[in-house]
């Protein structure tokens, strides 16, 4: 019989154990092994069967067991010591508190998904895991971040396979009362209610749940509340579920509702309002529109001035290298949601639509582009690896016509991973006991053979491999049972995989560009690799396809059908329902981590970083982070067939290269043993990986880089336009710099059609110029009604190719020499020829203002010629 309603009854702890509730509800336990050990000691079987969930564990304990624990003085002392340790972690100064005086007091971090722990299933893949690692690392560093997201009633989905190997999705209902979450309430006890206007007089209401991610609060908006009609209650039912209009509603709630949630959080807790707003992908782009609305409604600013104030404080990170990964909505649909009585009152709809308009060559004027809005609202923007920065500048170059792609204002901060979450505790414990703090930080201690010997390191790697094999067999048996196999048919599972065989892992989402089935291009060659009599290979594979992506599901089915074959099923397995819990065993247990996307479609790809932190070697296409950090000793680079247009031919060539590497390089090195039975050359690569990649791939490095290169400059720019954070005055005078900047930009745009380069003269060098000679350049320009100090007249100079195109260049400002009538001016300067070879130059005019972040800020340029 099915219940008509479900809810979770929370345990009432004895006063002596009250600290357990705080320890369970602060998600620091998910990366703090001593706290997990404390909970596991209560009841080891319940801890394991409950998936390592402290809230579920406490909820399963009866009054008698709680009384026994409360009377155990030793256990109570351990609880109090753990709480004291947590308090020190939460309150003591950390890196950020000593990093500088002008840093932002608070940073809002928006993401549609957060992967903190498998206990809180609010993530689908890399974006969510990255967001979770960002919050955890911010907490470890003491960075005052506040996360903002949505609470999905069914999370993403739970994956299983049917008898034919086809992916099946189920959506278990998640009860927030059974999660490590707290409902934010008003002082009178009522739940905080966040409201967003919808078309036709409807209103979307949401309650606000909070998760404590160490020192970082995470605010999650939940639309499944009684105040909503049935359609509105379903807005947050599934992550990336539903159609286009539901996705738009989710993104309005995330952006507009998220800003309102931050205001409620500050009002009720006294937390400072964020000075910087960081949006991940375009999903949360409407947060900028709501902040514009606040300034329009509350401070009486015109739209343009409010936009400047908001842009200065906004950081936008793009995570996709493909246009198909960007949310685009019908322009008319967005207009309907922003119209009278809609989501953001007081903001001109036409101005908002212009923010997301694809008004560039190749754009679709009927669509509203969330990434384009994110870039126009973001004063600072970045990709998530050096290569992805290049790809992003190419992809969005149309927004800045006339500029070289190297000048498109999108930088890069390479992703990182949260080591305490992903490094196996055995390896972490070994490092902490054998290496001193300086060696741990630099990684150099791993190169010291007397710290951790080869035999000990190899035995540890075998232990991690054996741990994976045991976990994989358990998961494989459960999957086979769900697919209809009887226990009598599953004896073979006891021999599936081996702790002594070279283990290659592949686990990630399954869009087509990640090429799950590249390894199947030549099934017989793969079979020979798996069954090699002296150097066998085994593959552990996992990953989910989006529920609407039948092509991705077909790839999974192809892989599963191959793995079902009786002759290879002990050497290749597909494990359904890839999540954080599986990854924490899979990643440390693999000797090699495989990644073979279509280059350059992998923005970053962090799973290989997690493998490297555990001593795994990467076998990857040179894409994402691997393109910048592969050094020839930390793994292998799969050659790519760049320039081959036929996709099948390209896959064939790259699959053959993959097979060749495994057969002729990877496997021989793994099985090459000395007289002690140790693969010393392989272990040398493991040590090198731990020493050199270990410090680079840390998310603490990533977060510190965000602080220094993006958050701190954004806070300073915001203060320059809107005053210091302690200034509570909301009237227009506080925002006068923003008003003046908007007026200046409007004047420049109005006059820009009259700006042109009339004539360029040069001299000072003979027919055979030499290094060290000085080139004199004078440019005559017309500025219309603009003043000379409104512009920079620049000479771009550098090496040229056969077509006289500048291949590399530097820009130098020319100084004002003379002013003439009708807005004509002469600018000039000297250049020293610093390098030999073919040299060229040109002249351009760009707007100049101290508040501009880059030369391309306005997207305006006049080039000579």
* Cα 31 to Cα 753: distance, rounded to the nearest angstrom: 57
Could you give the C-alpha distances from 608 to 93, 629, 651, in angstroms and in order?
32, 11, 21
Which pLDDT score, from 0 to 100, does residue 731 have?
Answer: 54
Q: HSE-up of 795 (CA within 13 Å, CB side)?
A: 24
The CATH code of domain 101-415+703-739 reads: 3.40.50.2000
Which pLDDT score, from 0 to 100, does residue 1 have?
Answer: 57
Confidence of residue 728 (pLDDT cuts 50, 70, 90): very low
Which pLDDT score, from 0 to 100, does residue 241 have?
Answer: 78
132-162 pLDDT per residue, tens: 999 999 999 999 999 999 999 999 999 999 9
Average pLDDT over residues 425-435: 95
Which pLDDT score, from 0 to 100, does residue 242 have?
Answer: 74
Find the range with the poorest average confidence among 241-245, 553-557, 727-731.
727-731
77-104 pLDDT per residue, tens: 999 999 999 999 999 999 999 998 899 9
* Cα 239 to Cα 150: distance, rounded to the nearest angstrom: 9
* Cα 698 to Cα 739: distance, rounded to the nearest angstrom: 41
pTM: 0.96
* Cα 143 to Cα 217: distance, rounded to the nearest angstrom: 11
DSSP summary character for residue 708 = I
Find the range with the poorest average confidence among 28-42, 208-222, 314-328, 619-633.
314-328
Contact between 556 and 545 (Cβ < 8 Å): yes
Choose among 656, 611, 657: nearest CA to 634: 611
Per domain, the residue ranges of the chain are 15-91, 101-415+703-739, 450-696, 755-863
- Could you count the other beta carbons within 10 Å of the beta carbon of residue 22? 14
* Cα 11 to Cα 61: distance, rounded to the nearest angstrom: 8
Q: Give the list of residues 6+ apart from residue 512 with CB closer than 8 angstroms, or none.
A: 551, 552, 555
* Cα 577 to Cα 652: distance, rounded to the nearest angstrom: 29
pLDDT more than 70, % of the chain = 98
The CATH architecture one would assign to domain 755-863 is Sandwich (2.60)
Burial of 335 (0-12, 13-18, 19+ CB in 10 A): middle
Average pLDDT over residues 653-672: 98
Which pLDDT score, from 0 to 100, does residue 244 have?
Answer: 86
Find the range with the poorest average confidence among 201-210, 428-437, 716-725.
716-725
532-544 pLDDT per residue, tens: 999 999 999 999 9
Phi and psi at residue 239, to the nearest 5°: -75, 125
The CATH architecture one would assign to domain 450-696 is 3-Layer(aba) Sandwich (3.40)
- According to DSSP, the β-strands at 193-197 and 203-213 are antiparallel
Same fold, 101-415+703-739 and 755-863: no
Which pLDDT score, from 0 to 100, does residue 84 have?
Answer: 98
In sequence order, the β-bridge partners of residue 122 are 114
Judged against a pLDDT cut of 80, whether residue 727 lies above it is answered with no
Could you give the C-alpha distances from 865 to 5, 683, 842, in angstroms and in order?
73, 59, 8
Choose among 231, 258, 236, 260: nearest CA to 247: 236
455-482 pLDDT per residue, tens: 999 999 999 999 999 999 999 999 999 9
Confidence of residue 324 (pLDDT cuts 50, 70, 90): confident
* Cα 290 to Cα 85: distance, rounded to the nearest angstrom: 39
Contact between 507 and 543 (Cβ < 8 Å): yes
779-830 pLDDT per residue, tens: 999 999 999 999 999 999 999 998 888 988 999 999 999 999 999 999 999 9
- According to DSSP, the β-strands at 839-847 and 862-863 are antiparallel
Judged against a pLDDT cut of 90, whether residue 490 lies above it is answered with yes
Which pLDDT score, from 0 to 100, does residue 420 have?
Answer: 97
Mean pLDDT of the chain: 95
Which pLDDT score, from 0 to 100, does residue 449 have?
Answer: 85
609-656 pLDDT per residue, tens: 999 999 999 999 999 999 999 999 999 999 999 999 999 999 999 999
Judged against a pLDDT cut of 80, whether residue 496 lies above it is answered with yes
Contact between 604 and 415 (Cβ < 8 Å): yes
């Amino acid at each position: 019989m099915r219940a008509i309603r479900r809810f979770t009854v929370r345990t009432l702890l004895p006063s002596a154990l009250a600290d357990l509730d705080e320890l369970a509800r602060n998600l620091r336990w998910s990366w703090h092994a001593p706290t997990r050990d404390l909970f596991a000691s209560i009841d080891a079987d319940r801890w394991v069967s409950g998936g390592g969930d402290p809230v579920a564990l406490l909820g399963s304990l009866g009054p008698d067991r709680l009384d026994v624990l409360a009377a155990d003085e030793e256990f109570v002392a351990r609880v109090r010591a753990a709480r004291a340790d947590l308090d020190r972690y939460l309150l003591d100064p950390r890196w950020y508190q000593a990093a500088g005086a002008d840093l932002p007091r608070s940073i809002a971090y928006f993401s549609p998904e957060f992967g903190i722990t498998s206990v809180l299933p609010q993530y689908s893949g890399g974006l969510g895991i990255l967001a979770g690692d960002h919050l955890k690392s911010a907490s470890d560093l003491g960075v005052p971040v506040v996360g903002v997201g949505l609470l999905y009633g069914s999370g993403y989905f739970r994956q299983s396979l049917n008898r034919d190997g086809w992916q099946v999705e189920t959506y278990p209902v998640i009860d927030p009362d059974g999660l490590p979450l707290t409902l934010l309430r008003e002082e009178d006890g009522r739940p905080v209610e966040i409201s967003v206007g919808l078309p036709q007089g409807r209103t979307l209401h949401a309650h606000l749940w909070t998760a404590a991610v160490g020192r970082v609060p995470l605010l999650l908006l939940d639309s499944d509340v009684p105040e909503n009609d049935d359609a509105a209650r379903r807005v947050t039912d599934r992550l990336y579920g539903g159609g286009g209009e539901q996705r738009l509603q989710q993104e309005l709630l995330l952006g507009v509702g998220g800003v309102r949630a931050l205001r409620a959080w500050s009002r009720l807790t006294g937390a400072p309002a964020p000075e910087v707003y960081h949006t991940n992908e375009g999903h949360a782009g409407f947060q900028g529109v709501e902040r514009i609305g606040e300034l329009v409604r509350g401070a009486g600013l015109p739209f343009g001035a409010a936009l400047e104030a908001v842009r200065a404080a906004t950081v936008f990170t793009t995570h996709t290298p493909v246009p198909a990964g960007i949310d685009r909505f019908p322009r008319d649909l967005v207009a309907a949601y922003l119209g009278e009585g809609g989501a953001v009152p007081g903001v001109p709809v036409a101005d908002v639509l212009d923010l997301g308009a694809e008004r560039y060559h190749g754009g679709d004027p009927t669509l509203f582009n969330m990434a384009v809005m994110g870039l126009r609202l973001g004063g600072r923007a970045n990709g998530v690896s050096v290569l992805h920065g290049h790809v992003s500048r190419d992809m969005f170059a149309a927004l800045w016509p006339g500029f070289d792609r190297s000048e498109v204002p999108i930088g890069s901060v390479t992703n990182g991973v949260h080591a305490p979450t992903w490094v196996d505790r055995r390896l972490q414990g070994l490092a902490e006991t054998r290496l001193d703090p300086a060696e741990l930080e630099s990684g150099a201690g791993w190169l010291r053979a007397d710290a951790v010997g080869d035999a000990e390191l190899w035995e540890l790697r075998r232990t991690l491999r054996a741990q994976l094999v045991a976990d994989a067999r358990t998961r494989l048996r459960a999957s086979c049972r769900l697919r209809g196999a009887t226990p009598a048919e599953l004896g073979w599972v006891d021999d599936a995989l081996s702790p002594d065989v070279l283990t290659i892992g592949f686990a990630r989402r399954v869009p087509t560009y990640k090429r799950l089935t590249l390894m199947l291009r030549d099934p017989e060659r793969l079979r020979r690799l798996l069954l090699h009599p002296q150097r066998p290979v085994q593959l552990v594979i996992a990953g989910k396809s989006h529920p609407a992506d039948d092509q991705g599901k077909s790839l999974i089915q192809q892989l599963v059908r191959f793995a079902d074959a009786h002759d290879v099923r002990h050497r290749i397995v597909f494990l359904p329902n890839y999540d954080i819990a599986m990854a924490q065993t899979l990643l440390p247990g693999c000797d090699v981590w495989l990644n073979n996307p279509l280059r350059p479609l992998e923005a970053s790809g962090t799973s290989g970083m997690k493998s490297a932190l555990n001593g795994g070697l990467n076998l990857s296409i040179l894409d994402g982070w691997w393109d910048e950090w592969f050094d020839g000793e930390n793994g292998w680079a799969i050659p790519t067939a760049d320039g081959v247009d036929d996709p099948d031919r390209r896959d064939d060539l790259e699959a053959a290269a993959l097979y060749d590497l495994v057969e002729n390089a990877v496997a021989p090195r793994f099985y090459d043993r000395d007289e002690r039975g140790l693969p010393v050359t392989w272990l040398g690569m493991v040590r090198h990986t731990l020493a050199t990649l270990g410090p680079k791939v840390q998310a603490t490095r990533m977060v510190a880089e965000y602080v220094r290169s993006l958050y701190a400059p954004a806070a300073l720019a915001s203060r320059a336009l809107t005053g210091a954070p302690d200034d509570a005055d909301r009237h227009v005078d506080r925002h006068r710099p923003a008003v003046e900047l908007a007026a200046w930009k409007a004047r420049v745009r109005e006059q820009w059609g009259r700006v042109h380069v009339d004539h360029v003269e040069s001299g000072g060098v003979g027919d055979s110029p030499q290094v060290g000679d000085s080139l004199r350049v004078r440019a005559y320009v017309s500025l219309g009604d603009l003043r000379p100090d409104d512009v920079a007249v620049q000479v771009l100079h550098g090496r040229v190719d056969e077509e006289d195109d500048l291949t590399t260049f530097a820009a130098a400002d020319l100084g004002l020499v003379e002013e003439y009538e009708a807005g004509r001016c002469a600018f000039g300067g000297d250049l020293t020829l610093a390098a030999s070879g073919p040299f060229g130059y040109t002249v351009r005019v760009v707007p100049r203002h101290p508040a501009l972040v880059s030369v391309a800020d306005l997207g305006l340029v006049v080039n000579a010629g």
